[in-house]
Amino acid sequence: MKPGDLIQFKGTWGESVVPGERQTGIVTEVWYNGRSWRQSAADILWDNGDISNQFGIHNVEVINEDW
């Protein structure tokens, strides 16, 4: 995963998100674990205009990598 990748959410949202929103997004920044240097989170601009900072990457899947 890298900035510019298109991602799809693979999980369930709580009641705070309207059903059908935040299904796809664009990665704007990738965060790494300070010990293992593995990717741990990403900043994501969602399809409804919301921004998630340091969103856990275990709930998303890259569907179209940026060239």
Extract the tokens encoding 23.
């299904």
Supply the pTM of this predicted model.
0.82
- Say what the pLDDT of residue 59 is: 86
**Three-state SS annotation for 37-49:** CCEEEEEEEECCC
- Say what the pLDDT of residue 53 is: 96
Note down pLDDT in tens along the chain; length 67 residues. Answer: 999 999 998 877 777 777 777 889 999 999 999 899 999 999 999 999 999 999 999 889 999 865 5
- Say what the pLDDT of residue 66 is: 59
How many CB atoms within 10 Å of residue 26?
17
- Give me the residues paired with residue 27 across strands: 44
